[in-house]
Chain A
Amino acid sequence: MHKPVPVPDPTSEAYWAAAAEHRLALARCGHCGRLTHPPDVVCPHCLSTDPGFTFEPVDGRGTVRSWTVLRDSFLPGFAEDIPFVLVDVELDVQADLRLIGRLVDGPDTPLRLGDRVVTVFDARDDGPPVPAFSLDPTAEGAR
């Protein structure tokens, strides 16, 4: 069973094209300049109905706000990966900008709120690499 393969569309093709090159690119509003993820019909910050989002590479470092260890998966494609960790990460690049991804360090990794992570890319056989996270080895107090 395959993991779900992303289907790029006009709102996301630049995101997945960047991911293919192992770069994290997020949508920046042409009016207020703030980032949003995922891009919506309007900019959630300035409410522009014509936000003209452009995807640009951002620093993938961030802070762990929560996590869960999956011991069962409701997506059959992930059954062979059980158990795995998902982390809820606030990126440094903008306050309250949060992404969710797998923590590639493994299910036994000790975690605390505030742990520092970097964006990495999870290779897939049948689609673009998928953004994920790893504990930042350069962070102060890194274990």
Chain B
Amino acid sequence: MSDRFAARSQVAVVGYAHSPVRRHHDVPLGALALDTALAAIADAGLTKDDIDGFTTGSLLPTSGGHASVDGVSVVTANWLAEHLGVNPRFCAGFQGFGQIPGSVTMAVNALATGAADYVVLHRALHNPPRGRYHANPMTRAAGPMQWVAPQGYFGPLSMIALPYNEYLQRFSASRDAMAAVLVEARANGARIPWSYWHEKPITPQDYLDARVIAEPIGVLDCDIPVDGVAAFVLTRADRARDLPHKPVYVAGYAMGSPKRTRLPTHWPLDDIMEAGFEIRRRLEDATGVTVDVIDVPQLYDGFSPFVYFWLESLGLCPVGEAHRFVQEGIDAAAGGLPILSGGGALGNGRMHGVPQMLECYLQLSQRAGDRQLASATVGLACHSSPHFGGAVMYTAEPL
């Protein structure tokens, strides 16, 4: 038993903004990020002169041969601060996957230590204008790629197909079971005005009819690449009480990491699950809250199998049972465990952990409108694979 997280309930989310999510915006990503950050600051009842901290994880999550240009295809914390005309005391980016929990850890730590008083945390996602998102014209495989690309193993669809098939074979599950996850994500995304999939729910048959790319992964198992920006404002709990919206407190966080050297993008099922089990232990130790009391568990779903992996590794259902659990247990409108009530990435577009964090904020601050859940006291926002990402726990009241 380790000590509780010293900054538990010391930091709160106090405002947000979200741009429309589109395949391609007709303004540069940087301009969209500036407008969204300013809207978030206003939503928090602040002005940009109050903001003295910035953080993000800016990585563009594509393996395609795209150049990365700050302000155009990515937006770093430094770029955002500079172009807002702010000279912040604290400005830092998270470098790994799990960009949302990673940048929340940086914001919380900076606020709790007094390195900043008001932090803007943003995430800007870009869909490159030409070519396929992950297609890569590589004809020479140097460095780490030499171990896999000559074999034809390349890119995130093969990466997720292997542990997903390992799951399906080990537990005698059918890929058809995942239709329930897609139907739920899209039903909730259809109710969100900024979602790419607004008013576009799907049926189980739509899922079953969709093209298969890397068996058992089909096109609808993947979130759709988009342009979109979200921004949040965080401050210390004592300052949060003076602001217009009900604060949502950060109870704690836990990150995961791979334990073994593997081939590039080789993610065996047991590596993923082992890290997920550890994230649960770390979260419970840090917060003193057990996962069974979480009533807004927003699981990451950038590829649909992550929903199974998070459900089982967090202990929200027994190992090997997620493919059955999702058939009856996750319909938020019918009182099921609302793991995708915010639509997730499958129901919003590739916003990379934003839908999970935002849904925790909206539900726990009672700002979810007609999607408001009857019970919203403890939220969990997961992002990425457990072994490269993490999770942040939020509460409606300080612990």
Point out residues on A near B: beta carbons under 8 Å.
Answer: 1-9, 12, 16, 36-38, 40, 44, 65-78, 81, 84, 86, 88, 96, 98-102, 112-113, 122, 124, 127, 130-132
Contact = CB atoms under 8 A, between A and B. Distances in A.
Nearest to A81: B152
B165 A68 contact: yes
Interface in B119-149: 132, 134-149
13 contacts: A3-B150, A4-B145, A7-B141, A38-B147, A68-B161, A68-B162, A70-B158, A70-B215, A74-B134, A75-B155, A76-B135, A86-B152, A102-B151
Given A38-B261, A98-B266, A86 B158 contact: yes
B165 A100 contact: no
Nearest to A133: B151
A117 B158 CA distance: 20
Interface size range of chain B in the complex: 35 or more
A66 B215 contact: no
A104 to B, nearest CB: 11
Contacts of B155: 74-75
Centre residue among A7, A71, A100 by max chain B CB count within 10 A: A100
Nearest to A99: B263
B63 A86 contact: no
Contact of A73 (B150, B152, B212): B152
B153 interface: yes
Contact of B146 (A8, A68, A98): A8
A38 B266 CA distance: 11
B135 A132 contact: no
A98 to B, nearest CB: 7
A81 B211 CA distance: 18
A122 B212 CA distance: 26
Interface of B: 63-64, 132, 134-155, 157-158, 161-163, 165-166, 169-170, 211-217, 260-263, 266, 268-269
B303 to A, nearest CB: 13
A95 B143 CA distance: 25
B149 A75 contact: yes
A127 B152 contact: no
Nearest to B144: A38
Centre residue among B142, B150, B157, B263 by max chain A CB count within 10 A: B150
B263 A100 contact: yes
Given A7-B146, A66-B169, A71 B214 contact: yes
Contacts of B144: 38
Contacts of A101: 151, 153
B214 A72 contact: yes
Contact of B152 (A5, A6, A8, A84): A84
Given A3-B150, A102-B151, 18 more contacts: A4-B139, A4-B145, A6-B141, A44-B260, A66-B165, A68-B217, A70-B152, A70-B214, A71-B214, A75-B136, A75-B149, A75-B155, A78-B152, A86-B158, A101-B153, A112-B169, A122-B151, A130-B150
Contacts of A99: 263
A100 B165 CA distance: 14
